[in-house]
């Protein structure tokens, strides 16, 4: 019995030594509700980290931007400042801090999510992740996100002219403003935490996001129409406070990186299954759904093509813009 106890103590000591001699707890903040695709992915990430460190490194997930008061830009600043440990937020938000992230969101640029994932895994994605250090953030990984669709409370959208005069909530990113403005819409930048009330009060008529967002945020209560437009790609930045990251043992750092890569694959598989489920829920809730035909999508694509020079200027790094365009047209 005494030998068993000694062996147990030795094993426990060895485990603690391997993982840095002490247990750690980190917080991870997401912008969306518990049932959203990104919060589910955050919880999967936390689960994998715990498993990889034998329970010695734990991550507590906080949804709905609660740790940063629902202000996404403030969340990025708090992450760099050290009051947040880990943050998941969109690349469209990070474009405010580094315009190179705008290159991801060029309308109708990516053929599908698989091509987007290949881009994020490429040298270009690595460059973006490493560039986060310039704003005081350690980039752990970039995760793909389903393509974006349009909802509104006014009418079905089948052509760019259907957007004329429509007040449409968009992220605080000038690319969205230029693209939807070129179709005659009234793009209105707004934090997502304000969107439901704005739609309910008719401050705006619609919004655009991956199709699972109207489900998790219950936008079906204040919207009537959904258009499958696949107009813009977006991604998630898994960022960490660099001081917090550097204070971790090498074993913990490896666990975080490995869990991030595994979660990205899990998330891609989960997203694909969730799209059909989300569409079914929205239809059940009374949302009228229409998918753009190839010809209809081409009309939206032509609007984007007419803004090529303006989009390139927004990226503010012509070489990076050109390399991104070369990547997506290579195959």
User: By residue range, what is the domain housing residue 315?
Assistant: 148-232+284-329
Contact between 188 and 204 under an 8 Å Cβ cutoff? The reply is yes
Whether residue 306 sits in one domain with residue 219:
yes
Whether residue 238 sits in one domain with residue 219:
no
For the cut 70, the answer to whether the pLDDT of residue 124 exceeds it is: yes
| pLDDT for position 5 | 43
Whether residue 177 sits in one domain with residue 137:
no
For the cut 70, the answer to whether the pLDDT of residue 1 exceeds it is: no
> How far apart, in Å, are the Cα atoms of 271 and each of 62, 260, 274?
20, 16, 5
The pLDDT of 8-37, averaged and rounded, is 71
Whether residue 254 sits in one domain with residue 122:
yes
What angle do the packed helices 308-315 and 294-305 form, to 10 degrees?
Answer: 60
Whether residue 118 sits in one domain with residue 183:
no
> Model confidence over 261-278: pLDDT tens digits?
999 999 999 998 899 999
Whether residue 212 sits in one domain with residue 131:
no
| pLDDT for position 13 | 43
Contact between 157 and 227 under an 8 Å Cβ cutoff? The reply is yes
Indicate the number of domains in the chain. Answer: 2
For the cut 50, the answer to whether the pLDDT of residue 8 exceeds it is: no
Based on DSSP, count helices (H) and strands (E) in the chain, helices before strands. Answer: 14, 11
Contact between 63 and 28 under an 8 Å Cβ cutoff? The reply is no
pTM above 0.75, yes or no: yes
Which contiguous run of DSSP H or E holds residue 42?
helix 37-52
Q: Rounded distance, CA 140 to CA 145, Å?
A: 16
Q: Which of 12-21, 45-54, 145-154, 157-166 is predicted with the least confidence, judged by mean pLDDT?
A: 12-21
Whether residue 182 sits in one domain with residue 44:
no
Using alpha carbons, select from 241, 237, 256, 257 the residue that is nearest to residue 72.
237
For the cut 60, the answer to whether the pLDDT of residue 15 exceeds it is: no
Task: Report the CATH number that the domain containing residue 122 is assigned in CATH.
Answer: 3.40.190.170
The DSSP string of 102-135 is GGGG-TT--SSHHHHHHHHTSHHHHHHHHHGGGG
Q: What phi, psi does 139 have (nearest 5°)?
A: -85, 115
| pLDDT for position 22 | 72
For the cut 70, the answer to whether the pLDDT of residue 6 exceeds it is: no
């Amino acid at each position: 019995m005494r030998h068993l106890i000694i062996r147990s103590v030795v094993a426990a000591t060895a485990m603690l030594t391997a993982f840095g001699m002490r247990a750690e707890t980190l917080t991870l903040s997401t912008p969306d509700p518990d049932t959203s695709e990104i919060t589910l992915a955050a919880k999967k990430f936390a689960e994998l980290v715990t498993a990889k460190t034998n329970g010695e490194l734990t991550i507590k997930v906080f949804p709905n931007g609660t740790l940063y008061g629902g202000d996404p830009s403030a969340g990025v600043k708090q992450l760099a400042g050290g009051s947040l440990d880990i943050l998941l937020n969109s690349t469209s938000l990070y474009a405010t801090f580094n315009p190179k992230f705008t290159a991801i969101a060029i309308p109708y640029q990516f053929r599908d999510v698989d091509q987007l994932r290949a881009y994020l895994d490429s040298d270009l994605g690595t460059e973006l992740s490493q560039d986060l250090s310039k704003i005081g953030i350690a980039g752990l990984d970039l995760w793909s996100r389903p393509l974006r669709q349009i909802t509104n409370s006014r009418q079905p959208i089948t052509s760019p002219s259907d957007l004329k005069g429509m007040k449409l909530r968009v992220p605080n990113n000038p690319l969205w403003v230029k693209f939807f403005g070129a179709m005659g819409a009234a793009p209105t930048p707004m934090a997502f935490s304000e969107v439901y009330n704005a739609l309910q009060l008719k401050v705006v008529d619609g919004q655009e996001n991956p199709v699972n967002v109207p489900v998790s945020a219950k936008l079906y209560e204040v919207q009537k129409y959904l258009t499958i437009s696949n107009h813009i790609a977006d991604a998630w930045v898994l960022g960490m406070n660099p001081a917090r990251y550097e204070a971790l043992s090498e074993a913990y750092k490896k666990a975080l990186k490995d869990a991030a890569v595994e979660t990205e694959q899990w998330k891609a598989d989960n997203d694909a299954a969730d799209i059909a489920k989300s569409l079914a829920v929205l239809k059940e809730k009374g949302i009228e759904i229409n998918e753009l035909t190839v010809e209809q999508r081409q009309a939206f694509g032509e609007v984007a093509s007419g803004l090529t020079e303006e989009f390139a200027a927004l990226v503010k790094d012509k070489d990076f813009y050109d390399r991104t365009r070369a990547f997506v047209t290579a195959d």
